[in-house]
Amino acid sequence: MKKKILVTGGTGYIGSHTAVELIEDGFEVVLIDNLHNSEAEVAERIGKITGTKPRLEVFDICDREKLNDFFQRNMDVSAIIHFAAYKAVGESVSKPLDYYWNNLVSLINILEGMKDYAVPAIVFSSSCTVYGQPEKLPVTEDAPIQPAISPYGNTKQIGEEIIRDTVAANKNIRAVSLRYFNPIGAHKSALIGELPRGVPENLVPFITQTALGLRDELKIFGDDYDTPDGSCIRDYLHVVDLAKAHVIAVKRMLENKNKHDYEVFNLGTGQGVSVLEAIKSFERVSGIKLKYKITGRRAGDIEKIWADPSFANRELGWKTLSSLDEAMKTAWEWEKAVRKKN
Ligand code: NAD
Ligand code: UFG
């Protein structure tokens, strides 16, 4: 019988790509999402890609009663991948309580549910934001956690601590925190991808929207950093590569291959790419000359960060397969497809 995986935030950007990979790997998938930042139609699109439309339950995970009701009807959930969270860094500064409430209450409810309904395994979406500006690059998992720059980042740090303590106190629960670097791109079908509401905060959606004429020009936030071309450096990985790591993490726990009850992995390519290099990649794959200008630095930006993914490479047998150009190309194909539809 197929093992059932609950994917919270399952109609969102990374959740939807992970649902595809899970279904294609033979899992049954059930999605929960309150559609705060995504659309129900994504479940149909996952169905178009895989041939199996996952069931979507629409409710807020902060609602403990609704979540309990879900678990009562789904006593056979084998593992949870918990993506549901608010993720806009800037908004978290102006609405900290919304972020602490949504991201932490939802996590606590999920962990309570795991205890009450004997769900043994969880994968948590964490972020390289927990490292702040690391002293040593590439950054390894044992690098010191820095004071969070935003309430959003703080919810990831606190979330990891809540999980660590819960696993320590409950011998039937195991967990993996995945610290994502910068996911970009979309499924090759161009049926699912990143669809930010309003003005995008992230670089790649801003680039693709500018190229389509939805934005006048991209602002590059600073060219006076201590990097080879002066712009900030990140580790951009293809969202499908990222999604596959979740499938591996789930199987590792379900097959008792984990070495510790709580494990943490960096997920990145290991390559640092500057903002200007990312733009060049986009121009190469799209054939479009992007309109951009250099402006001042964005408050709170990290100068440079990229992953040492060797622990995930070794322990999970996972590595990124797509190049930056391939990821950019899928982001561009998705942007064009989604605008045609809307
Ligand atoms: P997303 O906004 O596309 O997906 C999150 C989904 O969760 C949305 O569909 C939203 O409607 C849903 N959701 C939010 N709160 C909910 C609640 N209380 N109940 C039910 N559903 C709820 O974001 P994403 O980019 O797919 O990110 C997924 C996870 O990965 C998040 O936890 C995010 O913080 C983390 N993460 C993302 C990035 C990134 O760059 N995208 C980087 C590091 C970590
Ligand atoms: N950038 C621009 N112009 C823009 C947008 C971004 O120059 O319009 C630059 C930023 O200054 C940064 C780089 O592009 O140097 C990447 O910026 P993003 O906002 O795409 O990504 P960040 O690394 O700043 O933040 C992202 C997520 C956070 C998460 C973090 C670490 O937005 O949620 O990665 O995972 F915490």
Report the 3 state secondary structure along 130-190.
Answer: HHCCCCCCCECCCCCCCCCCCHHHHHHHHHHHHHHHHHHHCCCCEEEEEEECEEECCCCCC
pLDDT single digits (tens) 220-249: 999 999 999 999 999 999 999 999 999 999
Strand spans (E) along the chain: 4-8, 28-32, 55-57, 77-82, 121-127, 174-180, 182-184, 218-221, 233-234, 236-238, 262-267, 273-274, 292-295
pLDDT for 342: 65
Structure tokens given for 19 = 């649902």
Q: Which atom of ligand 1 is nearest to the CA of 36?
A: 11
What is the pLDDT of the chain when averaged over all its residues?
97
Q: Whose CA is nearest to atom 24 of ligand 2?
A: 301
Identify the active-site residue in 131, 152, 225, 236: 152
Strand partners, 4: 28, 77
pLDDT for 69: 98
pLDDT single digits (tens) 270-282: 999 999 999 999 9
Count of residues for the chain?
342
Mutate which of 6, 7, 14, 160 for ligand 1? The one with the most ligand atoms within 8 Å of its CB, which is 14
The answer to whether 281 and 56 are in contact (CB under 8 A) is no
Structure tokens given for 328 = 């950019």
pLDDT single digits (tens) 165-208: 999 999 999 999 999 999 999 999 999 999 988 999 999 999 99
Mutate which of 87, 179, 201, 305 for ligand 1? The one with the most ligand atoms within 8 Å of its CB, which is 87
152 is catalytic: yes
Structure tokens given for 267 = 């997920």
Determine the 3-state secondary structure of 325 from DSSP: helix
Q: Which amino acid is at 34?
A: N
Checking if the pLDDT of 36 tops 70, the result is yes
Residues 86-107 have a mean pLDDT of 96
Residues with CB under 6 A from ligand 1: 9, 11-15, 32-38, 60-62, 83-87, 102, 106, 125, 127, 180, 182-183
Split at pLDDT 50, 70, 90, the class of 108 is very high
Ligand closest in space to the Cα of 9 = 1
pLDDT for 339: 86
How many C-beta atoms lie closer than 10 Å to residue 33's C-beta? 27
Residues 11-27 have a mean pLDDT of 98
pLDDT over 90, % of the chain: 96
Split at pLDDT 50, 70, 90, the class of 60 is very high
292 Cα–ligand 1 center, Å = 28
Residues 106-122 have a mean pLDDT of 98
pLDDT for 148: 93
Split at pLDDT 50, 70, 90, the class of 127 is very high
pLDDT single digits (tens) 255-301: 999 999 999 999 999 999 999 999 999 999 999 999 999 999 998 89
Q: Whose CA is nearest to atom 11 of ligand 2?
A: 221
pLDDT for 340: 81
Task: Quote the Cα angle for 203-206-210, to 5°.
Answer: 140
> CA–CA separation, 18 vs 8, rounded Å?
11
202 Cα–ligand 2 center, Å = 5
Residues with CB under 6 A from ligand 2: 87, 89, 127-129, 153, 180, 182, 201-203, 206, 218-221, 232, 234, 275, 298, 301
Residues 97-123 have a mean pLDDT of 98
Structure tokens given for 125 = 């979406």
Mutate which of 157, 269, 298 for ligand 2? The one with the most ligand atoms within 8 Å of its CB, which is 298
Checking if the pLDDT of 25 tops 90, the result is yes
pLDDT for 197: 87
Residues 79-89 have a mean pLDDT of 97
Structure tokens given for 131 = 């490292």
> CA–CA separation, 60 vs 32, rounded Å?
8
